[in-house]
Amino acid sequence: MMAADIDRQRTISRAGTMEGIGLHTGEKVRVNFKPAEVDTGVVFIRTDLADEPRVPALVENVSNMERGTSLRCDDVEVRTIEHLLSAINGLGIDNLEIELDAGEVLVADGSALDFFKLLQSLKVVEQKAPRRYLEVTEPIFYCDGEVSLAVLPADTLTITYTISFNHPYLQSQFYSYSQASDDYEKHVAPARTFVFEEDVEKLRQAGLIKGGSLENAVVITQQGIMNENLRLPNEFVVHKISDLLGDLMLLGQPLKGRVVAVKSGHRSHIGLIGELRKYQQMKYIRQAPTAEPIYDVERLMEILPHRYPFLMVDRITHLEPNKLVVGIKNVTINEPQFTGHFPGKPIMPGVLIAEAMAQCGGILLLSATENPQDNIVYFMSIDDVRFRRPVVPGDCLVLVTRALRLRSRIAHVRGEAYVDGELAAEGYFKAMLVPRNKAG
């Protein structure tokens, strides 16, 4: 079954292992793949570090885009993830735990093929929860000089890619791939990473490609390639498609749309994903005031310990456990803070807007627990809170909170508050989940 035909989330049925070296570090690494529960997403786990920190594969965690895509949470890094993520995308896997005993994913043969074959051998299975696609209904653009990317409405994911170099051997190549009709294993997975001969020494002097060789990269000279042969007629542009498929996993959900890329690379891929994330979030914000509640106020009072006048969320309209929550706070003149705050010109106190964002963060954490009513969320820090516009009675405050980092029972989240689609406040929150019987 092709990835585009899948309506339910997927993981692997059993664990598996690969070993090799990192392309840039040259260090040995062992990678363990494990099944994950629904809505987990793809998460890297550094087993060589204390507490085995988790690094979700999300665009918010991207730290470096030079010669590969790397993630960082706090001081924890995972490098060169794109080939593995490409294989995960090619198989339509949504939830996976990836344990590493070093800081870089192995390079294998420089393509996604070995990752694809191993994960396929572990048997990809459907889960009970549905997939949450991002369906593009209007064009989305990212441009930077000669580099351009666009996502157009389509029923499935299609990528059309053009590369162009000022080089006697490799100048322009074009390829189009459809996830619905093309065989990823045959048409995309074998394409290897490539490098121009004149760049090799510069990269080595920069401390990169310590594990690079003709066994895991195609080296392009002025006359041809150093390797014996190419695997695909358009292997260079196809590898760029593979990279983009890997980077698109950082969106955190599968995409339906036609992607057109010209002269692109990892940095612009991440730029496009940022634009898609903004588009996705604005869809939630626009729909929130009239959307049917997932949690009404009665359900919220079962989960949160807050009561009037300190319950700052009226309902939840969108929820992705461990990832994203959207809530509503209707601001009315009858609330007690307006009695003494800016008399004659009532404005919602900024501290209460921050509290509303924090409570949404609490709901996000609690929703992923088996019995949310048995836990309480304590906030440990609030950082870089900014207020962009006044919030007054009659406003409908749309609260969007997204998980950035999850580690054991501690989470870092970003909260945003909107009025009429305009950002009113934003900030970062750190919280701890505590069993209710141990709280206080």
Domain boundary pick from 286, 317, 345: 286
Same domain, yes or no: 244 and 320? no
Provide the number of structural domains found in the chain.
2
Phi, psi of 103 (to 5 degrees): -90, 0
Domain boundary pick from 263, 286, 309: 286
Same domain, yes or no: 249 and 303? no
Given this model, what pLDDT does residue 308 score? 86
Given this model, what pLDDT does residue 433 score? 82
Same domain, yes or no: 244 and 295? no
Same domain, yes or no: 74 and 90? yes
Same domain, yes or no: 209 and 354? no
Tell me if residue 269 is catalytic: no
HSE value, Cβ hemisphere, 13 Å, CA-based, for 295: 26
Distance, in Å, from the CA atom of 181 to the CA atom of 177, rounded to the nearest integer, reads 8
Same domain, yes or no: 338 and 248? no
Distance, in Å, from the CA atom of 314 to the CA atom of 298, rounded to the nearest integer, reads 9
Tell me if residue 24 is catalytic: no
Burial class (CB in 10 A: 0-12, 13-18, 19+), 258: buried
How do residues 245-275 score in pLDDT, each as one tens digit? 999 999 999 999 999 999 999 999 999 999 9
Give me the catalytic one of 266, 269, 318, 412: 266
Q: Where residue 131 sits, what CATH number does that domain have? A: 3.30.230.20
Same domain, yes or no: 170 and 187? yes
Same domain, yes or no: 239 and 338? no
Domain boundary pick from 239, 260, 286: 286
Same domain, yes or no: 230 and 378? no
Q: Does residue 293 have a cis peptide bond before it, meaning omega lies within 30 degrees of 0?
A: no
Same domain, yes or no: 402 and 311? yes
pLDDT in tens, the chain (440 residues): 344 455 899 999 999 999 999 999 999 999 999 999 998 899 999 999 998 988 999 998 899 888 899 999 888 999 999 999 999 999 999 999 999 999 999 999 999 999 999 999 999 999 999 998 999 999 999 999 999 999 999 999 999 999 999 998 998 999 999 999 899 999 999 999 999 999 999 999 988 999 999 999 999 999 899 998 999 999 999 999 999 999 999 999 999 999 999 999 999 999 999 999 999 889 889 999 999 999 999 989 988 888 888 899 999 999 987 788 999 999 999 888 888 767 778 999 999 999 999 999 888 888 777 777 778 888 889 999 999 999 999 999 999 998 887 666 788 889 999 999 999 999 999 888 888 776 65
Q: Where residue 402 sits, what CATH number does that domain have? A: 3.10.129.10
How do residues 208-233 score in pLDDT, each as one tens digit? 999 999 999 999 999 899 998 999 99
Same domain, yes or no: 127 and 253? yes
For residue 135, give the H/E element and its range: strand 134-135
Domain of 299, in residue numbers: 291-438
Same domain, yes or no: 419 and 318? yes
Measuring CA to CA, which residue among 326, 303, 341 is closest to residue 132? 326
Measuring CA to CA, which residue among 248, 185, 242, 239 is closest to residue 42? 248
CB 208 within 8 A of CB 43: no
Distance, in Å, from the CA atom of 81 to the CA atom of 246, rounded to the nearest integer, reads 8
Given this model, what pLDDT does residue 1 score? 39
How do residues 352-403 score in pLDDT, each as one tens digit? 999 999 999 888 888 777 777 778 888 889 999 999 999 999 999 999 998 8
